[in-house]
Amino acid sequence: MNKNVLITGGAGFIGSHLADELLENGYNVRVLDNMSEQVHGKQCKRPQYLNSAIELIKGDVRDPKKVQEVLKGMDAVYHYAAMVGVGQSMYEIKEYTEVNNLGTAVLLEALSKNPVEKLVVASSMSIYGEGLYRDNNNTIKAGVERSLRQLKAGDWEMHDEAGNILNPYPTPETKTPSLSSVYALSKYDQERLCLMIGKAYNIPTVALRFFNVYGTRQSLSNPYTGVLAIFASRLLNDNPVLIFEDGNQKRDFVSVLDIARASRLAMESPGANNEVFNIGSGNAYTINEIAGKLSEILNKEDIIPEICGKYRVGDIRHCFSDISKAKQILGYEPEVSLEQGLIELAEWLEGQTADDKVTMARHELAVRGLTV
Ligand SMILES: NC(=O)c1ccc[n+]([C@@H]2O[C@H](COP(=O)([O-])OP(=O)(O)OC[C@H]3O[C@@H](n4cnc5c(N)ncnc54)[C@H](O)[C@@H]3O)[C@@H](O)[C@H]2O)c1
């Protein structure tokens, strides 16, 4: 008989692709999603992209009754519902803590009464803070930070004690977390709580630390979401993309299709139980490179990016993944190259309109002194 799987937040970007991946592999999928306005717009309707075979139940992860109800008959749970904006989390502190931390607590209390065969939780690279660095003697450095004085002077890179620039290095799961935003704190809380309660109640649990996910269906009207969706929303409205610092900060961009596959593998691999995994592409690109590639593919190269030379509180300089553990234990291998993924994204963007709220979001940060 087909297994029944619940995805919280399954109407969103990653959850809906995961739902497709599971349906294709013979699972039945139920989604619990509150159809948050910031992600789904004012009408909060069932998204057109959501496969008709998915049972969508509108409800909030913070509602214990609803959560107990949707868990009935489920064999496995993916906990992907969350508020996802790093910058926004620094002022909507209560809302982020309620949805992400309390929502997870409510789900786990319900699971302690109705255990399932597997729980997979979406964690995030944001918990690492800065990635690892290597100095000129090939010594690996963790926990390096930039001072406010340095950032105010526009000196963006990491330095060693002697003032030499440090080279960014792939970050493995063993790096000690350094939580620099309310969002990061809440993702770490979700991850730890799931693993802790999973162990206590014998629910095999896996935490996946996603890096910068991009692809079709990412909300183009949510100025707090992923960088590629935000850039796309600017360019579709013929506005310049807004880049913090100098744009040479490096990130790891991973296709949502690879994320969906890794998520399925996490459920299907017994060796993954009670472990955390980085899920990225293993490659690093600068934000300037990403902006350039997207402009080119959208034929908007004449719109010059606005490099604002400001630091956003909570931001890091470089972080990209070491994915050896996921390769070894999950059999995960990224399959979508950035070039391929961007072509697919551009095709999808052709049919989309975007409500560009970036100026508003920038103002929200600036008035609170959250950009320096
Ligand atoms: N997109 C990324 O780059 C990225 C990176 C790391 C981790 N993650 C994590 O992956 C998960 C999915 O993120 P996404 O990018 O698909 O975001 P998304 O905003 O597209 O999806 C989140 C979904 O959760 C729903 N939701 C929000 N609050 C809810 C609540 N109180 N009750 C029920 N549903 C609620 C939203 O309506 C939305 O459909 C999140 O946990 C996020 O923290 C995402």
The predicted-structure confidence for 300-316, as pLDDT tens digits, reads as follows 999 999 999 999 887 89
∠31-34-38 over CA atoms, to 5°? 125
Ligand 1 atom showing the smallest separation from residue 16 Cα: 16
Say what the pTM is: 0.95
Residue 133, pLDDT score = 97
Residue 226, pLDDT score = 85
Q: Tell me which residue of 38, 122, 155 sits closest to 87, measured CA to CA.
A: 38
> How far apart are the C-alpha atoms of 223 and 184, rounded to whole Å?
18
Ligand 1: residues with CB < 6 A are 8-9, 11-15, 32-36, 39-40, 60-62, 80-84, 99, 103, 122, 124, 187, 210, 212-213, 219, 226
Q: Ligand 1: which of 79, 80, 221, 277 to mutate, judged by most atoms within 8 Å of the beta carbon? A: 80
- Please give the domain boundaries of the chain with CATH numbers for all domains: 4-367 (3.40.50.720)
Q: What residue type is 236 in one-letter code?
A: L
Determine contact, residues 115/201, Cβ cutoff 8 Å: yes
- Is residue 102 left, alpha or beta, with left meaning phi > 0 and alpha meaning psi from -120 to 50? alpha
Ligand 1 atom showing the smallest separation from residue 14 Cα: 16
pLDDT above 80: residue 245: yes
Ligand 1 atom showing the smallest separation from residue 226 Cα: 3
Determine contact, residues 349/232, Cβ cutoff 8 Å: yes
Q: Tell me which residue of 301, 288, 300, 285 sits closest to 341, measured CA to CA.
A: 285
Rg of the chain in Å (alpha carbons): 20
Cross-strand pairs, 312: 371
Continuous H helices in 206-357: 227-236, 256-268, 287-297, 324-325, 338-349
pLDDT above 90: residue 258: yes
Tell how far the Cα of 80 is from the centroid of ligand 1, in angstroms. 6
> How far apart are the C-alpha atoms of 49 and 71, rounded to whole Å?
24
Question: What average pLDDT is seen over the chain?
Answer: 94
Within 8 A by CB and 6+ apart from 249, the residues are 156, 286, 287, 315, 316, 317, 318
Determine contact, residues 276/191, Cβ cutoff 8 Å: yes
> How far apart are the C-alpha atoms of 159 and 347, rounded to whole Å?
41
Region 9-28 average pLDDT: 98
Determine contact, residues 156/68, Cβ cutoff 8 Å: no
Positive or negative: CA dihedral 166, 127, 345, 340: positive
Residue 315, pLDDT score = 86
Tell how far the Cα of 38 is from the centroid of ligand 1, in angstroms. 11
Determine contact, residues 45/6, Cβ cutoff 8 Å: no
CB atoms closer than 10 angstroms to residue 301:
12
What percent of the chain lies above the pLDDT cut of 70?
100
Positions marked catalytic: 183
Q: Confidence band (pLDDT; 50, 70, 90) for 171?
A: very high
Nearest CA to ligand 1 atom 11: 80
pLDDT in tens, 67-114: 999 999 999 999 999 999 988 999 999 999 999 999 999 999 999 999
Residue 30, pLDDT score = 98
pLDDT above 90: residue 42: no
| DSSP code of residue 177 | P
Six token digits for residue 191: 């991850």
pLDDT above 90: residue 137: yes
Query: If residue 22 lies in a helix (H) or strand (E), which one and from where to where?
Result: helix 13-24
pLDDT above 80: residue 354: no
What percent of the chain lies above the pLDDT cut of 90?
82
Q: Ligand 1: which of 6, 8, 13, 18 to mutate, judged by most atoms within 8 Å of the beta carbon? A: 13
| DSSP code of residue 326 | I
> How far apart are the C-alpha atoms of 26 and 28, rounded to whole Å?
7
Tell how far the Cα of 283 is from the centroid of ligand 1, in angstroms. 23
Residue 358, pLDDT score = 74
CB atoms closer than 10 angstroms to residue 146:
17
Residue 312, pLDDT score = 85
Q: Tell me which residue of 168, 93, 106 sits closest to 131, measured CA to CA.
A: 168
Q: Ligand 1: which of 30, 33, 216 to mutate, judged by most atoms within 8 Å of the beta carbon? A: 33
Determine contact, residues 34/59, Cβ cutoff 8 Å: yes
Tell how far the Cα of 334 is from the centroid of ligand 1, in angstroms. 21
Report the chain's terminal Cα–Cα distance, integer Å. Answer: 56
